[in-house]
Each structure stands twice: as structure tokens, then as C-alpha cells.
Structure 1
């Protein structure tokens, strides 16, 4: 198939393109390579993708442009006839959305409507896009289920991603565009984002510096290894969303519709205490963490836990990487990449 992957210089996008190239798909990547975090890491990912395409003999093209640029998006879709679009580009980060909300409007709202409209105009067979577990906001019912209400986001980032879900449904309903939203939980692994806890903890522990542990370490997170996530993303993309003939307007299921629309959690379905995750890093690095205990930060939620049974039933998604194994792989990559 010919697949467009937006955000291919990013963490999940990079690994998704890598997997698609290895199985022989023709891939176009689209990313503006912004400086939200180290662009050197993003450029290294892009170089790795170019090498993988050469090694596998797969067709790969990279477009360096901003999704908020409607002309650039239209030009991309006009030049290529995509069978699938996997939209992973976004302005990420819970805390940064408090400081710079306009960046989230441009990327997550303007950029997303440009992708939706291009998919409609060029009759793309299926749009799979990234949402987030943050949409569950103030919900305390565990594990999080797609059937739960998500109308009380606790930060602007989550509000923009919930908006993406609603925008996607409108296009599925009006134009019959199959859309699948994937609510990511905490993803980690090699080539991961340096602003995320696994990267921050590992760098500081190896340097002998204290780590900041918010909420006094009482967090729990649904940590999911990147290879497991990518397997789920591609399986979901391969199976276009379809309508739910049993959808009942009197008892509406928010995860499905009479339109070709689906929402899925994609996580490990096994929440891990933050202290246990830090202990796994300590074991992998062979060093003890010096912890600076701090209160809960604005916009953070204490716990996340995914019920991913719907995705498992639909596409056979089942994570297979333990936290100990995943953390070991991440630390090994970190040592090699940063020569530590």
C-alpha cells in the first residue's frame, strides 16, 4: 500500500514508518521538524529512515512542511494517491500546552482539519490518527474505557485531541470517510522523546543527578513499549473503520457510530507504579536514583490505566513486552546513542 505518515520525525511516527518500510509499503513522511525538543534527534531519526529505505529497497519520500500550511498539504495529496493515512503529527506535551496554547491550535486543530479535508477530497481509504489518554481528564474510573465520558479535560492539550475525535466523526458522518482514533497512553522505548520521564530519569541517573518525582511518586502509568504500540497502529490502519449497525441513539456508544468511525485505547492494560518504573531503570543502569519528591503538577492526573480489550478484539492487538525488558532496551539504546 501507499501510506502517508505525518509526524515521521517524531518518536511514534519514526517507528511506524520503519515498520512499514520493512514490510515493503511505499511511504511518504510529512513533518516540519519543529524545535519543541532536540532537532538533532529528529534529524537522526530521518537519516535512519533514509538508510532503512535504501537497505530494504522500499520507496520512501520525505516532505519537510507544516500541516498548518494548507497549500503544502494539498500539494502532497495531489501528487500521491494514498491508500491509507496515519496521522501522528501533533504538538505534544501536557505542561507546554499551559504555556503556549496557540502552538496547539495551529498543529492539532488547523493541521488536523487540513488532513481531514485532503483525505476527503482525495478519497483516502482510511485515516488513522493519534488521540491521547489525556482526554479522560478528571475521570477516576479505572481502567479507562472508550465507553467512559471524556468531556472534562484538565488541560488544553487534551481538549485539542478530544476536538480531533469530534472533527473526525463529523467527516465520517458527512462524507463516509473511515476514521480510527487511537488514544495513546505512556509510550517509551529507543529513540524516545527527551522531554518524557523515561528519558529524563535515565539521563539524570546515569549522570548521578537527582530526578524530580512529582506527586511524591504516587503516580501510576500505563507504560507501553514502542514496538507493541506500532504493531497496534499498523493493525488498526490495515482494517478500515466501519459503521456499527447496532448503535443506539438512546444509549449511544461514544467509541462507535452509525458512521465509519472508531475510537480505541492503545496501551499495555497493566498500570505500573512510577516507583517500580524507576526501579527498573536503576536495575538497567546499575545506578541508584537520587529522588527529589515534589507535589502534583498542574494538568497532571495521578493515574492512567488502559482497557485495550476492544482493540484486541478488533485487530488482535496484544502487547508482549514487559517493563523490565522494555526499559533494558531503552537504556541500551540511550548508552549507544549518547555514548554514555
Structure 2
């Protein structure tokens, strides 16, 4: 018996004055999933989220939430909550008043409001800050207030539009863990827009990678990393991204193919033993490992991942090797053909 998806986008398209926003976007989301809409600026991920939220109406296609066609329904009728990039807090209201604002507008009884407030503040670690104004909070605390407001709404679907982009790196890491834990504890379905592949890979069960208004690949983080469907996915997903080598640079591969190779699958060889001779361009020591940037006339993005400190001077010539089984093969159009054997 097939389970119906909780959220379904079917052939969604949106244009403004003939200019493409998104084209033929189809996506099924099971209940309780954490889905990341990932891609570079202008790829259509925020447009897709706005269409799902009801802030825009599609030119074609259908949107179904919990079995109900909401394609032309107002945002207020879609039973969802949103967390924005800007915290969207009222500066003159306290933390408690900001969190409960929506409940008050909906005339939820005071006792119920206070009970939901208490639980939301406990979940988000804001207990004790109820009377503070947003101006007295750190960026991370303000984002937690926005999360608490989404929690008290009690909706099964929560949309998040780059909620961490205003935070510094350390705070982003902390709040990222908070959001993932909240999603698991509450069992809600989250659709999360980000341009940061680290956020998408570390938080999401399902990643939807977009480019130029179209979906490139849908799958788990592991699937996108290990089996990219084209060279765009290969280069976008992973830190560092997959290196791409022209087929004619390697024995046994057609000239019109492109070969993909991950940093962890490259090893240094003694002179005369390697498959490619490269020049060191940079070394980035990160404590547990070192990323060694390499240049080759027929390759882009070549990086070797070495354990511990493994510094080599820039301009130094090295030879590298790798197993055929770790290579990814793409055709002349950039589409995945297979993994090499």
C-alpha cells in the first residue's frame, strides 16, 4: 500500500513578465521529513518556497498539502508556519509577547497561550528571557524567538527561508543543531531554503538541488555526494567539491567524457608511480586534516585530503594516484554515465 505524500508539488511553473522563476518543479515530501531546497542565488529555491507558502500563485501545476489542493489558497488557509531570514520580531514587544502574538490574534484562551509559551521557551532555551525586548537579545536568541513563535503555532508544516544567514559561523552551527533537534522532537515537516550546502547536508533527510529554476537532483545527502547525476551537482555538493578531469588526461577513458574525483580518494605517490603529475597551489591546515590544492592543465578543482599536518610548498610538483572504482564518469553533456570499474 502506497502512502500518500504529505506535501506534493506537481509540475509547478512560475514566470514574471516572461522571465523564468521555476519550471516543471515536481516534489513529493513525506510527513516528518526535513527537506532542504539547495542551490545558488537565483536558482528558484525561494520562489518554490513562496509558492508552497501561498505568497505567490503558480502559473501552472498543482500544490497539495495533507490531501488538500491549496494551489490558489491564501497563505493563511494552508495550515503552516514560517521562519524568515529576518527575524520579523516586533521591537516594542517582549519575547513572550512576540511568541504569543499569533495566538492572541487568533483569540486562543490566555491559559492555553501561557502553557504553549512555557513549552516553546523550554524547547528553545529561552526560559528566563520572557520580559526582554528583541534589542536586548543576541542574534542567536532572536532567531530562537522566531523558532518559538513557529512552535506555538502548532502547525505540522514549517517553512524556513535561510533563517541562519544573519548569524556568525559559530552561532549558525549551534542554531543548526537546535533546529534539527526541534524538528525531530516535534515530528514536524520542515522545508528549508539555503544556499549553504553544509547546512543542507548536515540537517536534511532529503536534499533538492536546483539550478536555473529547475530541479537537478532529489535524494539523501549521501546520494547527492556519492552519485551526482551531472557535473553541476558534483561540483556544488561536497567540501571541497568534486574535481573534474578531462577524459583524455587518463588512460582508458574517451576524450569527450569528464571524470569526477573526490578529495578523499586521491593519494600522493612516489615520483614515476602516479597517474597525474600536478603542481601544489595551496595548503589549508584544519587541525585533523590538510587540504592540498593541486593544478593540472586538464583538471579543475583538484584537491587532496591528507590526515594531520601535510604542508607542501606552493609550486612543488607532486604525483597523485587513485583507484578506477572511485572515479565518476560524465558524458559530453555533463550527465552521469556510471561509476568507473
Q: Give yes or no for TM over 0.5.
A: no
More strand by share: 2
Structure 2 length as normaliser, TM-score? 0.29
TM-score, with structure 1 as normaliser = 0.29
Bigger share in helix: 1
Q: Quick one: higher RCO (CA 8 Å, sep 6+), 1 or 2?
A: 1
